[in-house]
């Protein structure tokens, strides 16, 4: 006998898979183990059901006798009794939006089956996106909010708005089309899809399987921003990142320019230090060389120093620069222009000399003949000694 029922079980399990059925709960019994046993019936038929503790633990409460429910279940054969049974995986009361809930659960299950809910799929958002697309309605505040955040935080962006209806008849289809269009924008870095807050019904398009699949298919990383506090939409689940509002999505999309300015300043410091160290190494080598050779090398070094200085003068944030500590100074006009050439000086001209620890007022006494077009005036004894 067992051979027959075992075989029947295999056939049924393989042939039916997960199905959704609707019925009335009767003969409900919850065992101490936490498993639920009951019968589901409608006017035509009835079938025994079990819902294991691991599955029913997610439900807010046990169903009551006579309650109408939708269940997602796997049909099987209880081998010892040769009896058809449903192993219930999910249960949704038909009240409070039951059919919607069922559709949502079905869609979620389909997405899960295709691996689209796998956390390993989630892509990192680009650090410095240059081109961002946003699929949303032009009616709401969403676009305005995103624009104002981008403007403040990171205006190095082109925002492509792909307008679409986000609720009502045809919204799903329009959102999908807009998503596919966004995918055709060349060199796109990031896609935001969403809308401002609304009722559960208003937000429903973002629970559509088709929209979720279109989001998942995006070539570039996605942020889902469906304005809601508590519920998570299907779009949220498949997107690479989720934000509670469009503004929050924009915050997540771009860095803050203040913070980036800070790291640029740090890079500038490293740049200067890197060079200082490099020149120090060269100077030490020079010290070890013979006098005859030294003179030649000194000439090279001196020319190089002028180049360092010139480059450094362009680095406003770096002043006072390390280079200045070695006895060089930057001459600037009162207007702040770096004075690089003799032609910029006239006798009697007042200018500022920036040294290690601050500025000095200076005045041109005379313009003697020698050549030299350095941006730096250098104390001549230091020049003769070279540096190091």
Residues that bind another protein (CB under 8 A): 126-131, 133, 138, 147, 150-151, 155-163, 181-182, 184-185, 187, 189, 257, 260-261, 264, 267-268, 270-271, 273-275, 277-279, 282, 300-301, 304, 307-308, 311-312, 314-315, 317
**In this structure, are residues 197 and 219 in contact, taking their beta carbons and an 8 Å threshold?**
no
| Chain Cα centroid distance, residue 188 | 14
- Count CB neighbours of 270 within 10 A: 10
Closest CB 103 distance from another protein, rounded Å: 29
Residue nearer to another protein on the CB measure, 275 or 355: 275
CA distance 81 to 47: 13
Closest CB 198 distance from another protein, rounded Å: 23
Strand 131-136 relative to strand 158-163: parallel, antiparallel, unpaired?
Answer: parallel
What ranges in 154-205 are assigned the alpha helix state H? 171-182
ω into residue 324 within 30 of 0, thus cis?
no
Residue nearer to another protein on the CB measure, 81 or 385: 385
CA distance 66 to 79: 28
Closest CB 266 distance from another protein, rounded Å: 9
Closest CB 151 distance from another protein, rounded Å: 5
Closest CB 37 distance from another protein, rounded Å: 56
Residue nearer to another protein on the CB measure, 6 or 325: 325
Q: Which helix (H) or strand (E) holds 312?
A: helix 291-313
Residue nearer to another protein on the CB measure, 7 or 278: 278
**In this structure, are residues 103 and 143 in contact, taking their beta carbons and an 8 Å threshold?**
no
Residue nearer to another protein on the CB measure, 34 or 155: 155
């Amino acid at each position: 006998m067992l051979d027959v029922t075992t075989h029947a079980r295999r056939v049924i399990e393989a042939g039916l898979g997960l199905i959704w059925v609707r019925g009335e709960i009767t003969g409900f019994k919850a065992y101490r183990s936490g498993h639920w046993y009951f019968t589901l019936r409608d006017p035509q038929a009835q079938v025994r059901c079990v819902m294991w503790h691991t599955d029913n633990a997610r439900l807010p409460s046990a169903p009551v006798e006579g309650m109408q429910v939708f269940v997602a279940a796997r049909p099987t054969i209880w081998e010892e009794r040769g009896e058809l049974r449903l192993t219930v995986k999910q249960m949704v009361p038909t009240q409070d939006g039951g059919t919607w809930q069922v559709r949502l659960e079905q869609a979620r299950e389909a997405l899960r089956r295709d691996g689209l809910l796998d956390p390993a799929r989630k892509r990192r958002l680009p650090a410095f996106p240059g081109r961002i697309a946003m699929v949303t309605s032009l009616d709401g505040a969403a676009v305005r909010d995103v624009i104002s955040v981008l403007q403040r935080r990171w205006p190095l962006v082109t925002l492509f708005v792909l307008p679409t209806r986000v609720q009502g008849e045809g919204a799903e289809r329009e959102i999908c089309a807009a998503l596919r269009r966004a995918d055709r924008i060349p060199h796109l870095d990031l896609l935001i899809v969403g809308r401002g807050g609304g009722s559960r019904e208003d937000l429903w398009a973002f629970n559509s399987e088709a929209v979720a699949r279109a989001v998942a298919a995006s070539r570039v990383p996605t942020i889902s921003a469906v304005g809601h506090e508590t519920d998570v939409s299907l779009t949220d689940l498949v997107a690479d990142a989720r934000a509670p509002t469009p503004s929050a999505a924009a915050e997540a999309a771009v860095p803050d320019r203040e913070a980036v300015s800070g790291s640029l300043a740090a890079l500038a410091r490293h740049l200067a230090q890197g060079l200082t160290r490099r020149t120090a190494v060269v100077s030490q080598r020079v010290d070890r060389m013979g006098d005859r050779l030294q003179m030649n090398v000194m000439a090279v070094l001196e020319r190089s120093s002028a180049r360092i200085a010139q480059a450094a003068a362009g680095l406003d944030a770096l002043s006072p620069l390390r280079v200045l500590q070695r006895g060089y100074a930057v001459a600037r006009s009162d207007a702040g222009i770096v004075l690089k050439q003799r032609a910029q000086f006239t006798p009697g001209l007042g200018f500022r000399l920036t040294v290690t620890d601050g500025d000095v007022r200076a005045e041109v006494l005379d313009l003697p003949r020698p050549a030299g077009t350095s941006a730096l005036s250098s104390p001549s004894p230091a020049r003769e000694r070279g540096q190091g």
